[in-house]
Structure 1
Amino acid sequence: MNMPTADTRAALLQLASATLPVGAFSHSLGMEAALEAGQLGDAEQAETWIADYLEWIWAPGEAVYWLALQAAWSARDGAQIVDLNQQIVATRETAELRLESEQTGRSLRQWLLALPQAPRLGPWQREQLIQLEPVSWVSVHACASVSLGIDTEDALHALGWSLLENLVAAAVRLVPLGQIAGQAILRRQALRLPALIRQAEAIPVADARNFAPMLGLLSARHETQYTRLFRS
């Protein structure tokens, strides 16, 4: 692991910040439908849901694709970037899950292209980003990590942290949970991220998976849920 400089440390904090203008706060990734189905009644059930999402969906799926994309951006392999981006889009099982990936991806791309003082974001990277349609959140996040000079493991940790923080914030609003209970979940699950990252690093991209049929069913139900706070 490379020691972070002041510039890369600032970039890492910005990329992991909850204030990043990508609209992640408007998505619960199936949690709202799970609440209506009676699966999220208290803090314990909410933490189990979040922990399972990280372990069974994020680590063996999204994180594995992110690592492959980070390598492709580093190698300037445009064909591999396009292929992996298409694979990620294809893994979204419902319209809402695809909406979440593409909407946050477009927003992050807009943020990255407008970001000042990003000398590693050259013409080639900009052209590749603009041509990715539909663009996924994971693809742009991997590009951002390379363009901002962030260490691979640190940047993947930031990706996991952003997801974890968003899921906890959704649980606080939905279950509902107190802020202290939410912070306790955030702390416990954040301590699991290094092990989950190691798990992702050991999986070849050809074996990436996010098999969670019940999540797909819940997400599909959310599309017609009578009352809801979140877009997915």
Structure 2
Amino acid sequence: MSPALIRLLHLVSPTLPVGAYTYSQGLEWAVETGTIKNEAGALNWISDCLQFGLARFEAVYLAHMLAAWEHKDMKRLAELDAEFVASRESAELRAETLQMGYSLARLLTDLGCFTAPTQAGFSQPSFPLAWSCAAAAWSVPAHDAIGGYLWAWAENQVMAAVKAVPLGQTAGQRMLMALGERIPQFATAAACCPLDATANFLPAFSIASSRHETQYTRLFRS
């Protein structure tokens, strides 16, 4: 087992203290309104968000950030980061990526393994920027890093569905098995996708995130 794989497992671990478990990205509102009622509905929602949002947009930006870190292109990183933050469709999604980016950057600073994003001049890095910084510094291959990033997102969404629907643990594992089968192809496509070919048109996802901001009772921050 390579050191890079160990570091990737570290980055995708649910124990990474960045607060990912506190976010549902609108999934909780979809449950509240009855859009998601069971395992099949949860899998369809998460799968669509993975394919048409994360894989076609966020993962592509992550790939370009990884390349920019490798070339130490700070100007390009600043452009990518600003574009990604501007793409967040709701106040909750924007707050989420900035909070998680800050938490990860602070963790990397405290660990002292390398120059963290905040030490490189990024005072409010997005989560993909901070995450790609660590992956690049630890020499995680781009394809593996992108796949790991997608897996971590999918796992968090499944955990949110298990709590919110609610579902049993076995149902959660079935969903992860189904989602995991699709991630390698998504990672391969994202790794070579130009930025001008990205797309994240997910109206229901955007509406769910926006409506969640005023949901009366909720378990998650977004």
Q: For the superposition of Structure 1 and Structure 2, which TM-score range results when normalised by the shorter chain?
A: over 0.9
For 2:38 and 2:187, locate their aligned partners in 1 and report how far apart those are by CA, in whole Å. 28
SS at match of 2:79: helix
For 2:213 and 2:6, locate their aligned partners in 1 and report how far apart those are by CA, in whole Å. 38
How far does residue 122 in structure 1 lie from its aligned partner after superposition? 4.2
TM-score, normalised on structure 1?
A: 0.91
- Check if 1:50 corresponds to 2:46: yes
For 1:115 and 1:170, locate their aligned partners in 2 and report how far apart those are by CA, in whole Å. 29
For 2:115 and 2:165, locate their aligned partners in 1 and report how far apart those are by CA, in whole Å. 45
Once the two structures are superposed, the pairs formed by residues 59-98 of structure 1 within 5 Å of their partners are 59-98=55-94
Change (3 A) 1:199 1:9: closer
Once the two structures are superposed, the pairs formed by residues 25-174 of structure 1 within 5 Å of their partners are 25-116=21-112, 118=113, 121-122=114-115, 127-128=119-120, 131-174=121-164
Amino acid at match of 1:163: W
Amino acid at match of 2:195: V
Q: Which runs of 4+ in 1 moved over 6 A?
A: none
For 1:92 and 1:193, locate their aligned partners in 2 and report how far apart those are by CA, in whole Å. 22
Moved more, 201-210 or 83-92: 201-210
Q: Structure 2: state its 5+ residue gaps.
A: none
CA contact (8 A) 2:101 2:130 kept: yes
- Check if 1:211 corresponds to 2:207: no
For 1:135 and 1:41, locate their aligned partners in 2 and report how far apart those are by CA, in whole Å. 35
For 2:212 and 2:188, locate their aligned partners in 1 and report how far apart those are by CA, in whole Å. 33
How far does residue 12 in structure 1 lie from its aligned partner after superposition? 1.3
Q: CA RMSD in A?
A: 1.4
How far does residue 218 in structure 1 lie from its aligned partner after superposition? 1.4
For 1:85 and 1:171, locate their aligned partners in 2 and report how far apart those are by CA, in whole Å. 29
Amino acid at match of 1:194: P
How far does residue 143 in structure 1 lie from its aligned partner after superposition? 0.7
For 1:98 and 1:160, locate their aligned partners in 2 and report how far apart those are by CA, in whole Å. 19
Change (3 A) 1:31 1:160: same
Amino acid at match of 2:119: E
Moved more, 196-205 or 10-19: 196-205
